[in-house]
Chains A and B, each alone.
Chain A
Amino acid sequence: MDSLEGWQDTYVVVRNIMIGFAILYLLFEIALNLNDIDEDTSNILLYKASKERLFFIPFALGAIVGHLFLGTDDLRFDIGDLPPVLILFGLAVGTVIVAYKVPFKKTDLFLGVLLFLGILYGHLFWSMNMPR
């Protein structure tokens, strides 16, 4: 029983850290919105970065969405715990290199497709629902 209580305590601590970050981020965003600089909120900065060299952002966000909130239980897609993270990291580095070497226009449709592919990646290959 003691260990169960201890386990629950750690959950509460981690959840509170998450809530703390959410509040900090929210306050920062409100401050950015109220200041005299236009287009400086994080969503616009992320959108602009996606349009330039960090076009990996929509894929990464999609993967996080698929990982956290979705996730298949089909073992055919199981590639382990660490490989999906390493692949994601590798893709991030690779796309930045591509963006520097081969500049090209990133349309909203392109970013939307990357977001969708990211969700699919997170859902299939980075799933927490695998019955291992």
Chain B
Amino acid sequence: MKTYLTKNVRRLKTIKIVLAVLLGVMIVIDIVLVALGPKGWPTFSKVVFDTQGQLVWLSFLFGGLVAKIFYNRKVPTFGQELLGFTSFSIVVFLLFLLGYFGLFPEDVSNEIQLAVLLFGGFFAYGVWPQYLNHAQSN
């Protein structure tokens, strides 16, 4: 039992390091892009800002992921999460297609963006719960 816990703590630390490295690399790339700005390189936020119509899927995804952090439901069966994850991914993909084929206006208003963010958040909360394998943790 002790070995299992020690192993888990070590693996959790590794997971946190991997996530921090991912975030760190993104920040470094963004700083490099800021420096390359005069040569015509846009930063991540500039790409999001200038291609709002194509990136409505990202607003939905962001709203959903933020809701998954602070307003998350937990379920004991993996099937429920899988179904929710699949449904959420389908909406993201549909929004991606709508944006890709130019069906959204180039400038998306703040009201629409807010509505999409909230829609993503409520959708993630209602449809995409989190599976927790209690049997393993006990």
Interface residues, chain A, CB within 8 Å of chain B? Answer: 3, 6-7, 10-11, 14-15, 17-18, 21, 24-25, 28, 32-33, 36-47, 50, 57-58, 61-62, 65, 67-72, 108, 111-112, 115, 123, 128
Q: What separation, in Å, do the CA atoms of A125 and B16 have in the docked complex? A: 31
Q: What separation, in Å, do the CA atoms of A112 and B69 have in the docked complex? A: 11
* Residue from A17, A40, A46 within 8 A of B69 (CB atoms): A46
Interface residues, chain B, CB within 8 Å of chain A? Answer: 8, 11-12, 15-16, 18-19, 22, 26, 29, 33, 40-51, 59, 62-63, 65-66, 68-70, 72, 81, 110, 113-114, 116-117, 130-134, 136-137
Residues of B with C-beta under 8 A to A46: 69
Question: Can you list 25 A-B contacts (CB < 8 A)?
Answer: A3-B40, A6-B40, A10-B40, A10-B42, A14-B44, A15-B47, A18-B44, A24-B22, A28-B18, A33-B81, A37-B136, A39-B132, A40-B11, A41-B130, A43-B72, A46-B69, A47-B69, A47-B70, A50-B70, A65-B117, A67-B45, A68-B45, A111-B70, A115-B66, A123-B110
Q: What separation, in Å, do the CA atoms of A36 and B117 have in the docked complex? A: 32
* Residue from A14, A15, A45, A70 within 8 A of B113 (CB atoms): A70
Does A14 contact B22, Cβ atoms closer than 8 Å? Answer: no
Does A10 contact B12, Cβ atoms closer than 8 Å? Answer: no
- Tell me how far the C-beta of B131 lies from the nearest C-beta in chain A, rounded to whole angstroms: 7
If A11-B51, A14-B47 touch, does A43 touch B40 (CB 8 Å cutoff)? no
